Amino acid sequence: MDFTIKEEASFKYVEKGEGEVLLLLHGLFGALSNFEDLIDTFSKTHRVIIPMLPIYDNSREESSVAELSKFVKEFVSFKNLQNVTLVGNSLGGHVAILYVLNNPDDVKAMVLTGSSGLFENAFGGTFPKREDYEFVKTKTEATFFDPSVASKALVDEVYEIVNNRDKLIHIIHMARSAIKHNMSKELPSIETPTLLIWGKEDTITPPFVAEDFHKLLPNSELHFINKCGHAPMMEKPKKFNIILEQFLEKN
């Protein structure tokens, strides 16, 4: 699928479809292709939007989950979006949680998949052999239960990021911010309907993390997908989309 990236003011984003808004928030190494099946499916019934989070654009001091949440607020205001359903993977889930806490009236529902915010095995700062392509390939494949999901294009993108000194510094600072910004105390106050979709074999945010989210979020439901890692919408898109569709029909 070809994505047309729109640019308005200081924002870059992808937008397709009409209807209620699904706002997709990507993770640290999130590519647009991660959401390809979700966009294809839900743009038939929804207005699907993916803002490009400025993970590499801010100064080092601004590399934080809180700053990304503020950026999303600016984007939502700029686009005049209402009744939004947030869908966040990994770091994007963490950003979604903080956004809901600060802007509950903007959000109709929230979907978290492999979200940080409680515990994660830090991915961003674990590339001591970043110039070794095979090492980066192995680390990227570890994101998935099925290593073949890590296409050459995806590995090439991760390799480029971790071998760009400025980008790597931002990645490390952002990963540290996510680890420090634990949300366990705030989660019980979130009343927004929340769907948790988790890979049963996720090694970055393991299944116990999903169970903790489910216990702490009072209006949540949890679904595990077997033989699936950290990015269910990418590794098991059909199962992911069925679960998401059923949730959207109820909320």
Q: Show pLDDT as tens, one digit a residue, over the chain (251 residues).
A: 567 889 998 899 999 999 999 999 998 776 677 899 999 999 999 999 999 998 877 554 566 888 899 999 999 999 999 999 999 999 999 999 999 999 999 999 999 999 999 986 654 445 556 678 988 898 889 899 999 999 998 899 888 888 888 887 777 777 777 777 789 999 999 999 999 999 999 999 999 999 999 999 999 999 999 999 999 999 999 999 999 999 999 98
Tell me phi and psi for residue 89, to 5 degrees.
Answer: -105, 135
Inside any domain, residue 28: yes
Question: Which amino acid, one-letter code, is at 142?
Answer: A
pLDDT at 124: 43
Tell me phi and psi for residue 105, to 5 degrees.
Answer: -75, -15
pLDDT at 168: 79
pLDDT at 65: 87
Neighbours of 228 (CB within 10 A): 26
Question: Strand pairing of 6-8 and 11-16?
Answer: antiparallel
Give the span between the Cα atoms of 17 and 48, in whole angstroms: 6
Inside any domain, residue 146: no
Inside any domain, residue 186: yes
Neighbours of 235 (CB within 10 A): 24
Q: Say which CATH number the domain at 16 has.
A: 3.40.50.1820
Question: Which amino acid, one-letter code, is at 60?
Answer: R
pLDDT at 122: 57
Q: Is 144 helix (H, G, I), strand (E, B) or coil?
A: coil
Give the span between the Cα atoms of 114 and 21, in whole angstroms: 21
Give the span between the Cα atoms of 88 and 35, in whole angstroms: 11
* Model pLDDT for residues 17-46, shown as the tens digit of each residue: 999 999 999 987 766 778 999 999 999 999
pLDDT at 129: 64
Inside any domain, residue 76: yes
Inside any domain, residue 167: no
Query: Which residue carries 């869908």 as its tokens?
Result: 87
* Host domain of residue 94: 6-119+182-250
Inside any domain, residue 144: no
| Overall number of domains in the chain | 1
Q: Which tokens sit at 52?
A: 């490009």
pLDDT at 230: 94
Inside any domain, residue 246: yes
Q: Of 223, 148, 146, 181, which is closest to residue 68 (Cα–Cα)?
A: 181
**Radius of gyration of the CA atoms of the chain, in A:** 17
Query: Which residue carries 């990236």 as its tokens?
Result: 5
Inside any domain, residue 151: no
